[in-house]
Amino acid sequence: MPRKFFQRFLPSPQTIKENKSLSVFGNWLHDPNLWHLNRRSVAGAFAVGLFFAWMPVPFQMALSAGAAIFFRTNLPISVALVWITNPVTIPPMFYFAYLVGTWIIGEPPVDFSFKLTLDWLLNELSSSWRPFLVGCFTVASISSVVGYFSINNFWRYSVMKRRATKSHLKK
């Protein structure tokens, strides 16, 4: 069940290999272990993808792909999960990360209005970069661990349920 579920949504290996931003990985993309759908590779892919989804850096897809290759997790899932952060979700996600960072550091949150301009980034981010980055790293780490164990447990539960159903049908 989990394998079929994920296969419905994944792009083909050829689509990933032809992606220009991932061409930097060259022949590493041909490793068959990066395309397997099993409990370990999918849970690891969720850990990698969720971690980089919270990182406020450009080229999240490439970083996620590099980590997927390094940790030998499912590449398409790792890369697809970074799209959790998109133009619609970035402001609330990163504001949440900022609030988490202020709570950890012990600084009061600064009131500001968000404007997507270079001037705003240079002026406003200079006063709040520390809690923002601490919050991003903290939320990324927690999301990564929760994602890994959630998918791992979901996969095990699905397999056990399928086996129980098969053994029940044989009787």
Which residues, given as ranges, of the chain have pLDDT below 70?
1-30, 32, 112-116, 120-121, 166-171
Q: How does pLDDT run across 53-103, given as a tens digit for each residue?
A: 999 888 888 899 999 999 999 988 999 999 999 889 888 898 899 999 999
- pLDDT of 158 reads 86
Can you give the chain as a three-state secondary structure string?
CHHHHHHHHCCCHHHHHCCHHHHHHHHHHHCHHHHCCCHHHHHHHHHHHHHHHCCCCCCHHHHHHHHHHHHCCCHHHHHHHHHHCCCCCHHHHHHHHHHHHHHHHCCCCCCCCCCCCHHHHHHHHHHHHHHHHHHHHHHHHHHHHHHHHHHHHHHHHHHHHHHHHHHHHHC
- Nearest-angstrom CA–CA distance, 17 and 43: 22
- Tokens 């001037």 -> residue: 119
- pLDDT of 6 reads 64
pTM of the model: 0.77
- pLDDT of 3 reads 62
- pLDDT of 25 reads 66
- Nearest-angstrom CA–CA distance, 87 and 76: 21
- pLDDT of 57 reads 86
